[in-house]
Structures are given as C-alpha cells and as structure tokens.
C-alpha cells in the first residue's frame, strides 16, 4: 500500500508539467472565446485527443496511479487553464466512472472506448442522473426502466436534466428506477448506445459559468436497449434488489445505489477542479497586486490586500491537502469513516467561490470586467458548490457520518 506523501515522483512531475503547458498554451488562449460562444470547444478537445490527453489510456493511467494523486493533479492543472473548456475535456470521465463503478469487465471494454472515439473523430459521453424533481433527493427519481422479458430489452422513459454533454453524447449512461417502492435502493444504471431511437436532447441551458461545457436535458421516450446494456447484468441486479427488499422488510439497512457509487468516486476530483480554479484566480490577483500602484506604491504593500492574498493561498493549500488525502484513501482502499471525500469537495468548493470573489475585489473595477479572467473564474467557481452534491448536502453527509445516522 502506498504511503501518503505530498512529494510527486519524477513521472508525476513530468505529467503535471505537460498538462500545465497544454493548459497555458492551448486552453487559456481559447477560454474567453468559447465562454462567449457558449458552445462545446470541439477543436480544443480534438487537440487534447491528438496529444493523448483526451483518451481512455491517459485517464486510466491517472486513475490507477497507486498514490491516488494522478486524477487530482490532472484536474487541477486543466481547470487552472479554464473551467468551462476543462469540463468539456473531462466531462466524459463521469460517465466512464459510472461504467467502471457498476459495469462488468466486458461492458467496460465495450463502452468506454466508444465514449472517447478516436483522434480523427472525437466523441463525448454523458452521465444522466439528476431530474427536474430529483437532484440531491435521488430517491424522488421518476425515470423508469421496465424489463421486457420476451425481447430481453429494457424500456426507459423519463427526463434527465443538468446532463453534461446531454444529447450530444455518443454514449449516455442513464440512472433509472427499476423498483420505485425501494426508493434509491431500486435504482440501476444503463447504457444507451449511439443513435438509439427515443433519446433526444431537451432544453440546452444558458449558464452563469462554465459556458463552454454543454449542459442540457435528455428526454427518454420508450427508449429500448438490449438487456446487456444494464450495467452489472440482470443477475446481479436481481440479487441486490432481493437483498434490499429483505432488509426493508426487516427495518431497513442502507445499500449504496448506482448514482451514489459514481458520485462518491468523483467528489475528490471535483474538489481538485475547484482547487485549479482557485489557484488560477489567486495567481492573477497576486500578479496584479504586485504591479498595480496606488498612492505611489504597489497595492500588495497594503495589509488589506496582502492579508487577503495570505488567506487565499492558505485556503488553497489546505483544500489541496484534503483533496489529495481523500484521493489517496480512495485509491488505497481506506474507508471514508469521517466522510473525507465529502469534506474535500466541500472545503475546496467553498474555497474556490471565496478566493475568486477575493480576486475580483483585489482587481477592483478591472476585476468586474471581461477584460480580466478573474470575472470568468468567479462565475465558473459558483458551480462547484452546486453540482455533484451541493455544499449543504456535503455538510449533511459529513454530519450524519460523524453521528452514525444513515445517509439516505
């Protein structure tokens, strides 16, 4: 088992420098344009694919880094470049995690490569869990999956919302209820293959931030998929449902559901994204404070500015520590006994929101204009306290874990 360390090895340092170079040379120069266009930056994704950054192999290498630091290190550097473009590059990863967390080896080998496509024809994937009336309250999910035994097919009906890459994805991973009486324990995940009839894009959202990332509703109308597209297989699902029904009959022992399995695996990575955005805003504010003069001296000479920068840097480093600890624990198989994954996501998200606001304040009027990137970073940072579990939900998870109460 790898010991926890903050010291990156030579290979990790090389990867970090490589990603930082891509973020600085390719992502940042394109950030303002794609933020204004509010469109998926396909040319940037293709450039990432050419370099091997947007690929199954790259993410697999980082995911299986024995130290656990590969994914958070990569997320921080890419999101340091720009959150909207970076999310367009890594958004497919959430769907891939959904398959890795719940699928068989055959399903993993079949579907994850199709999520990325190839250098000449890049594709994206979407993970569809949230619904108009079921965000944090996953038990309220209304999308249904009904098994047609005669045809060995599943029939999906419902509407998903807030889906990154929803409707434009080559492969959609959809969480649906197969037994509504069991609430969240009656959920399962399904692969919807490319060009499946009945799946369509609903409303595309015009967002406050991360505008280069496509977010939309996904409408499922009598979508028929082969039985083999149930992640994990029907035998495993039937066994799990039987256990859940028995436990519910005896008084209810909690069981991890398909959506929660995905979110638990991805929360430290979201924390790393937030660290990247916070660090970018801090660096912009620091450089500005060192060069901007008022009353005959750089504004960093004023304690009101200097102390803000000190707090910003301290919070960023603390957030990174929590993210790296959670990532290391997840990789080495250590149980999140105190909800360390949620802690990392909560603190890093709140840090990004606060630090980017402080950066705008330090730049003053300039920080409020689109001529300076901190304005965009501040808009982007707002999403971290919302998606993949709001800050309020993270606090609830942490509190219930500490108290021993069940997490529903």
Q: Which residues have a catalytic role annotated? A: 388
SS3 2: coil
Residue 275 is classified by DSSP as H
Confirm if 145 and 176 have CB atoms less than 8 A apart: yes
Strand 215-226 and strand 199-204: pairing? antiparallel
Residues with Cβ within 8 Å of 56's Cβ and at least 6 positions away in sequence, in order, are: 96, 112, 113, 115, 116
Angle between helix 340-363 and helix 374-381 axes, rounded to 10 deg: 150
Query: SS3 for 172?
Result: strand
- CB atoms under 10 Å from CB of 70, counted, come to 24
Report long-range pairs for 150-154 (Cβ below 8 Å, ≥24 apart). 151/224, 152/226, 152/227, 153/224, 153/225, 153/226, 153/227, 154/190, 154/224, 154/225, 154/226, 154/227, 154/229, 154/230
């Amino acid at each position: 088992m790898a010991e926890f360390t903050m010291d990156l090895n030579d290979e990790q340092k090389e990867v970090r420098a490589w990603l930082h170079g891509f973020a600085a040379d390719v992502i940042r120069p394109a950030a303002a344009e794609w933020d204004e266009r509010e469109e998926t930056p396909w040319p940037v994704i293709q450039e990432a694919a050419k370099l091997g950054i947007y690929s199954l192999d790259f993410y697999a290498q980082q995911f299986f880094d024995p130290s656990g630091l590969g994914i958070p290190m990569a997320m921080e550097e890419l999101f340091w470049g720009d959150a909207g473009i970076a999310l367009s590059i890594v958004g497919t990863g959430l769907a891939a995690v959904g398959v890795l967390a719940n699928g068989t080896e055959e399903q993993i080998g079949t579907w994850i490569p199709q999520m990325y496509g190839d250098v000449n024809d890049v594709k994206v994937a979407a993970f569809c869990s949230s619904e108009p009336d079921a965000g944090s309250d996953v038990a309220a999910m209304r999308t249904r999956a009904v098994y047609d035994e005669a045809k060995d097919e599943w029939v999906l009906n419902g509407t998903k919302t807030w889906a990154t890459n929803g409707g434009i994805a080559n492969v959609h991973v959809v969480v649906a209820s197969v037994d509504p009486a069991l609430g969240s324990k009656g959920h399962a995940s399904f692969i919807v293959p490319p060009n499946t009839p009945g799946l369509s894009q609903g409303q595309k959202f015009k967002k406050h931030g991360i505008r280069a990332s496509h977010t939309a509703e996904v409408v499922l109308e009598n979508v028929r998929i082969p039985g083999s597209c149930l992640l994990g297989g029907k035998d495993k699902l039937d066994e799990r449902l039987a256990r859940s029904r028995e436990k519910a009959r005896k008084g209810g022992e909690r069981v991890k559901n398909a959506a929660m399995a995905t979110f638990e695996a991805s929360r430290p990575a979201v924390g790393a994204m937030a660290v990247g955005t916070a660090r970018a805003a801090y660096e912009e504010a620091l450089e500005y404070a060192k060069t901007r003069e008022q009353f005959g001296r750089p504004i960093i000479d004023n304690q009101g500015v200097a102390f803000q920068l000190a707090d910003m840097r301290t919070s960023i480093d603390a957030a990174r520590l929590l993210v790296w600890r959670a990532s290391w624990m997840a990789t080495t198989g250590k149980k999140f006994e105190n909800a360390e994954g949620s802690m990392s996501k909560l603190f890093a998200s709140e840090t990004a929101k606060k630090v980017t606001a402080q950066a705008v304040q330090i730049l003053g009027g300039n920080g409020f204009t689109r001529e300076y990137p901190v304005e965009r970073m501040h808009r982007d940072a707002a999403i971290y306290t919302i998606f993949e579990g709001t800050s309020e939900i993270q606090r609830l998870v942490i509190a219930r874990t500490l108290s021993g109460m069940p997490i529903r």
